[in-house]
Amino acid sequence: MALKQRKKINVQPVGEVELDTYIQVIHVSATKEDGMCNVRFRKESKEGGIVSDLVYQFTPDMNGPNFIKQAYLHLKTLPEFAGAEDC
């Protein structure tokens, strides 16, 4: 599972550019109370160059789907991922 989205990214030394990104949860760690997911942004596809890696927190649901799926569902609720599509 992954997401795709057109995003504005700050690229040095050029500055801010808009590009298609491939967004992938690459690691999840969670307890009953707290979850963290490492998210990798790549240029255009799974094989594209790495643009950035960020960490996001979420509250896991022990009765919900697996934690990776929950991480993606959480990302899609955040304003910065508005309009992101599954791919």
Q: Sign (positive/negative) of CA torsion 72, 75, 81, 82?
A: positive
Q: Is residue 87 included in any domain, yes or no?
A: no
Q: Is residue 85 included in any domain, yes or no?
A: no
Full residue range of the structural domain in which residue 27 is found = 3-79
In the prediction, which pLDDT does 9 show? 79
In the prediction, which pLDDT does 33 show? 93
Q: Is residue 11 included in any domain, yes or no?
A: yes
Q: Is residue 34 included in any domain, yes or no?
A: yes
**Helix/strand/coil for 67:** helix
Domain count, the chain: 1
pTM of the model: 0.88
- pLDDT over 90 (residue 76): yes
Q: Is residue 84 included in any domain, yes or no?
A: no
pLDDT in tens, 13-70: 778 888 999 999 999 999 999 999 999 999 999 999 998 899 999 999 999 999 999 9
Q: Is residue 56 included in any domain, yes or no?
A: yes
Task: Kindly state the greatest CA–CA separation across the chain.
Answer: 46
Closest CA to 75 of 29, 47, 36: 36
